[in-house]
Amino acid sequence: MRVLGIESSCDETSVACADAEGIRSNLVSSQVDLHAPFGGVVPEIASRAHLTNAIPVLDAALAEAGWELKEIDAVAATAGPGLIGAVLAGLCCAKALAWSLDRPFVGVHHIEGHILANDIEEPMHLPAVVLVVSGGHTETLLVEEVGTYYRLGCTRDDAAGETFDKSAQLLGLGYPGGPQIQRVAKGGDPLRFPLPRALMAAGDLDFSFSGLKTAVRLTAEKLPRPLLEADVADLAAALEEAVVEVLLRKTERAIEAMRERRLRGLYLAGGVAANASLRRGFLDLAARTGLHFRPPSLAYCTDNAAMIAWAGRHRLLLRGGDPLDLRAFARAPLESWTARP
């Protein structure tokens, strides 16, 4: 089955081609330059850019895969969650293609796409605990099998990626914040500035990063201006260590809570999964817990259509397609999506 996937949930216009053998193409048109002056994604700008970029990226993805449009067997697209205008741009494009070609259409939950990105290059070992961590999401899930997911813990306020982005902006590091924080933190002292770790009581699987973000701001405000490079590096290192420590400890607790499920795997998903410190921590955690872990390829961490095409292919094989009146959505837990008929 040849599946064309479209991803447009935020500020990346991406189209990919996938079949039983894997990913044939995965092209991403980034909007970073458009949003960088604002320090974050501007929804209206993102939506308009998707409309401009969709067809050129689609044509390029088909050309790279060596496919003709008429050779597509199905079309998949992100239905949500995400910026609703951005989601609609890609979803409407996918529906139009499916209708015009008389091919099945399937809507994909963005989080399921991130999870199943771990299945692209090597089959996942299930059941597994997965940490999904990005600019808009931070949660741990139990994946019993493809299509069956249970949320174990989630953020009560800010996502880890958002904390990186907002802190980077405050420190004058630019957007997107995660890569900038990681780059600067390499030369910093993480012990110079003590930063909080929230919700660390035993048994608590939820996350909270709003207090950490505030602590970074208050710490920075106490420092002389302009901030010295050493000050920025030390504060970035302290922030990265605090975020990674919380993510690792909460994931380990989730593993402990799910031991009776006879876990076989441990996985990372989402944009923050590209963080080198977090990846090293997961390698160590997997070794200590005896679980299979393979760091996801960097190309499949940030938003991309390969994960949408791959998840769409899984869903089509499991449950068939969706009606063309499937609605886009800004927010919805993964469990509610996968439980639908």
326-340 pLDDT, tens digit each = 999 999 888 866 655
Residues 273-281, mean pLDDT to the nearest whole number = 96
Residues 51-64, mean pLDDT to the nearest whole number = 96
Residues 149-167, mean pLDDT to the nearest whole number = 94
Residues 307-321 pLDDT 10s? 999 999 999 999 899
Torsions phi, psi for 297 (to 5 deg):
-55, 145
| pLDDT for res 335 | 80
Locus of tokens 């599946």: 3
Query: Contact, 158 vs 210, CB < 8 A?
Result: yes
Concatenated DSSP letters of 61-105: HHHHHT--GGG--EEEEEEESS-HHHHHHHHHHHHHHHHHHT--E
Query: Contact, 314 vs 116, CB < 8 A?
Result: yes
Q: In the 8-state DSSP scheme, what is residue 14?
A: E
If you average pLDDT over every residue of the chain, what do you get? Answer: 94
Q: Tell me which CATH homologous superfamily contains domain 3-116+300-338.
A: ATPase, nucleotide binding domain (3.30.420.40)
Residue ranges of domains in the chain: 3-116+300-338, 124-296
CA–CA distance, 152 with 251 (Å, rounded to integer): 10
Nearest to 319 by CA among 301, 337, 334: 337
Same fold, 3-116+300-338 and 124-296: yes
- On the question of pLDDT at 244 being above 70, the answer is yes
- On the question of pLDDT at 97 being above 60, the answer is yes
Say if strands 22-30 and 74-80 run parallel, antiparallel, or are unpaired: unpaired
E-state strands within 99-199: 105-109, 128-133, 138-145, 148-154
| pLDDT for res 125 | 97
The CATH fold of domain 124-296: Nucleotidyltransferase; domain 5 (3.30.420)
